[in-house]
Amino acid sequence: MKNIYYLLCLLFPLSIMGQEPMGKSQWVYSDANGKLVYKATKRGDRIIDFSHAGYKGGGVTLPYVPAKLTVHPLGENEDCTDYIQKAIDMVSALPKDADGFRGAVLLAPGRYVCNRSLQIMTDGVVLRGSGSDPSGSVIVMTGDKHTAIVVNNGIRQRAGNRLGEAAPDEKSIKVTDKYIPAGSYRLTVADVSGLSVGDNIEIRKPVTEKWIKYMKMNDLVRDGKPQTWIKAGRQLIAERTIAGIEGNTIVLSVPLVDSYDAKFTDDNTTLVVANNVQRLRQCGVENLRIESPAQAVNHGKALYYALRINGEDCWAKDINALETMESIGVGGRCITLQQINVIRRALHQGASKPAEFAPNGGQILIDRCSVEGDNIWFVALGAGQTGPIVFLNCSFKGNGRIEGHQRWSTGLLLDNCNLPGGGIDFKNRGSMGSGHGWGTAWSVAWNCLAKSYVNQIPPGTYNWVIGSKGESTPLRRPFNQSGPTLPVGVFDSHDTPVAPQSLYLAQLKERLGESALQAIGYGPTVQLPSPVRSDYTFQGGMQASRELAGKDYRAIHEYMRALGWDYSEHPNISKNDHYDGVHCEVLFDAALQQYVFKFTNHANAEALDSDRGRLLSDRQRNEMKSQTNHDWYHLNGNWNEWQRLEWKFRIPKDFQPTTKFCHLHQLKAQEGNNGAPLITISTRCDEDGGNKRVQVIHTGDTRTSGKGIIIDNLPLADFEDEWIQVETEMHYTHHGTFRIKLTRISDGKVLADQSFADVDLWRKGATSIRNKFGIYRSLGRKMQSASDRPDNGLKDESLQLADFKVYEAHTNPNPQPHD
């Protein structure tokens, strides 16, 4: 499935996505030495350092945890919940290794019907699928109301980074500063005895009647009834770790995202040691697709949610959630969500809207994620969240909005986020909801694109929209239309993007260095020398086995799986397709004197293959491909890696191509912009069925970076009924290299031998480029009924394949998503 993130990037002006910034912010900019300079208010408040958001506090590669158990799908409609949960429980019972991991449960490709939640409740456990596209691992939600996957140990947690209550029996230490500015790493306490570096602490800011009145939140009324913003006596709690103690000054590991004014706290801000936090740790969910029935209802009647994580040092990546509602909820701290895509086709009903991303915690990074839908909150924070919370390079399609939403959440960064049809709101919601009032403060939209912004400035604080494009829409407080327009927050370098392009990445680089950017899939590419043949090392290969002769597609699939490929995109996978046909078999070939794979596509009066069960399709697919889970990344192309593929194919005499596409081989991204392949070896003919030829076609990451047909007019007659040795060499970057050599084995004739420089061989957001082989061809038009057949001369065709070998140089040992 084409990743929404990239689709939206194509639509956005280059000034937002990729063009060098031209403006300069007065609030954050780089000096002549490249060091970030921050403007401060008279009281010392500044834009905070957001770079502490993410797994392990930011700048750390998401771990790969080896699989201990592999689960395969049960019957087509058989519930798999208990089956998968048992595997999770078995891995949960294993001992932790030195890094705190027990192991992963791997879901093999297929569809898993689940009528209850899958739960990870023990540290160090990962649930990993085999891909988030339809041919990967699909959780099919059925049954009663539930969340597809829950990561939570079920232990009642301390307040953490949110609105909470004081426990009467806890020892608290008085904070003596009269004013602590937003962005500060330091505070002073009356007594440091009993405190140690490494202690987990909570800084508690009391909500007082004086502060509520100062914020003008004491007069909220709706339908004649008083509304409460935040009840006096509650506490806004920021969880931090002590990084240093200097006299009575505490140095924090992460800056404070709110200001602390003793005048409005009754001089009663306190510090509490909180070393007894019992969050779930080191757990992840990866490479999955979650499918829910369409939910065209109000969110109060929703049945199916995608993911809930409450923990510390946890993550989720490469997940596509279709038709879930209030899809992604996160609590705790130091969590990364990467390439999570929510797609809502069914229109939500009602004025009160669901939040598709609800990051309610601290140090949360949402990276390269997306939402598509209307009448929803793309993002909404809960009450009293004390960040930092960062959305980096995220895209949103539809008329939804992003908000702090309610009751004083602080420290939200929207960095290079794109909402061409939606809005970003840092605003006072007044009596909306049940008295949501001021939703957010000390928050930043940096180099964003939105249709509109409601950027308001709460008393005593700031909100910033910097280097961003879109209309400013000043508003009054809701339900107070006779009142004044509320003060507008800072618009700095509006409509002109600023440097640095990304605030989060610039802050991360300054704090931890270039390696931290590389660790999370950003940063410049190290230019490596072009390898010679001796630099390459063998990574894996596959040859058909005589043991497969006479066996069906299931045996072939299992054989391929053991060697790093799979056979999972063919008509036999769906009863809606030509389910009983033979589409792959193993035969002995007299010319090569070995067993080979034979792929067959059907187009005859009795049977017409489709595309993985899609009825009335305009194409048919019968392909094998390299696996894209971590265990087999060495068979795929990874960022800045050199790869050589060697393989053989034979097409029969009188092979009939199409006028549109008939691919025999594809190099295609698994993640990110994974719609069009990078490279194809294809056959084609003219409208009259003549001029049959072989082509090599390149498609770039953007509309302007593709080279199109790079080799054309290789006569198909030179290939028919002949074994062809294929050798390709790729350097996987946006300015890569591609070389191809096609040799006819029978007489050694070289049919093609060409190299191409400065070829865009990457896809934005991809982790790896998989290799695919088989027949994927157009039928010429969409079929109109089950008995309809192509009228362009198509017939049954076959392709024989043999001797797959993969070599790599300058290997990328731990590939991460890269733009």
3-class secondary structure, 633? helix
> In which band, very low, low, confident or very high, does the pLDDT at 384 lie, cut at 50, 70 and 90?
confident
At 435-448, the pLDDT tens digits run 898 999 999 999 99
Would you state the pLDDT for residue 527?
65
Least confident of 233-247, 522-536, 734-748: 522-536
Phi-psi region of 336 (alpha: psi -120 to 50; beta: other; left: phi over 0): beta
Tokens representing 743 are 């040799």
Would you state the pLDDT for residue 4?
38
> 489: buried, middle or exposed (CB in 10 Å: 19+, 13-18, 0-12)?
buried
pLDDT at 389 over 90: yes
DSSP string, 543-567: ---GGGTT--HHHHHHHHHHHTEEE
Among 34, 70, 430, which Cα is nearest to 227's? Answer: 430
At 787-797, the pLDDT tens digits run 899 988 899 99
d(CA 644, CA 537): 10
> In which band, very low, low, confident or very high, does the pLDDT at 161 lie, cut at 50, 70 and 90?
low
The three-point CA angle 101-151-316 to 5° equals: 75
d(CA 263, CA 81): 55
Mean per-residue pLDDT, 254-263: 97
Instruction: Report CA-CA distances (Å) from 511 to 59, 470, 795.
Output: 9, 31, 62
> In which band, very low, low, confident or very high, does the pLDDT at 340 lie, cut at 50, 70 and 90?
very high
CA atoms within 13 A on the CB side of 614: 13
Q: Distance between the two ends of the chain, CA-based, in angstroms?
A: 18
The three-point CA angle 328-329-335 to 5° equals: 100
The more confident residue out of 5 and 667 is 667
d(CA 372, CA 154): 31
d(CA 254, CA 244): 12
Among 403, 782, 419, which Cα is nearest to 617's? Answer: 782
- In CATH terms, are 4-156+279-519 and 538-809 the same topology? no
Q: Are 302 and 325 in contact (CB under 8 A)?
A: yes
What are the helix (H) ranges across 109-245? 209-214
Looking at the chain, the whole-number percentage of residues with pLDDT higher than 90 is 72
pLDDT at 7 over 60: no
d(CA 255, CA 299): 36
pLDDT at 224 over 70: yes
pLDDT at 323 over 70: yes
Chain-centroid distance, C-alpha 589 = 44
> Which pTM value belongs to this model?
0.77
Residues in the chain, total: 819
Would you state the pLDDT for residue 8?
35
Among 663, 736, 676, 668, which Cα is nearest to 702's? Answer: 676
3-state secondary structure labels for all residues of 36-102:
EEECCCCCCCCCCCHHHCCHHHCCCCCCCCCEEEEECCCCCCCECHHHHHHHHHHHHCCCCCCCCCC
Candidates 2.40.360, 3.40.50, 2.160.20, 2.20.28; correct CATH number of 4-156+279-519? 2.160.20
pLDDT at 338 over 60: yes
Would you state the pLDDT for residue 2?
36
Least confident of 80-84, 218-222, 389-393: 218-222
Please state which CATH number belongs to domain 538-809. Answer: 2.60.120.200
| Domain ranges within the chain, ordered by starting residue | 4-156+279-519, 162-273, 538-809
DSSP string, 348-365: P-SSS--EEEEEEEEEEE
Q: Which uninterrupted H or E stretch holds 304? A: strand 304-322
CA atoms within 13 A on the CB side of 287: 28
Rg (CA), the chain: 29
Write down the mean pLDDT value for the chain: 91
At 176-210, the pLDDT tens digits run 999 999 999 999 999 999 999 999 999 999 999 99
At 266-294, the pLDDT tens digits run 999 999 999 988 899 999 999 899 999 99
Looking at the chain, the whole-number percentage of residues with pLDDT higher than 70 is 95
pLDDT at 352 over 90: no
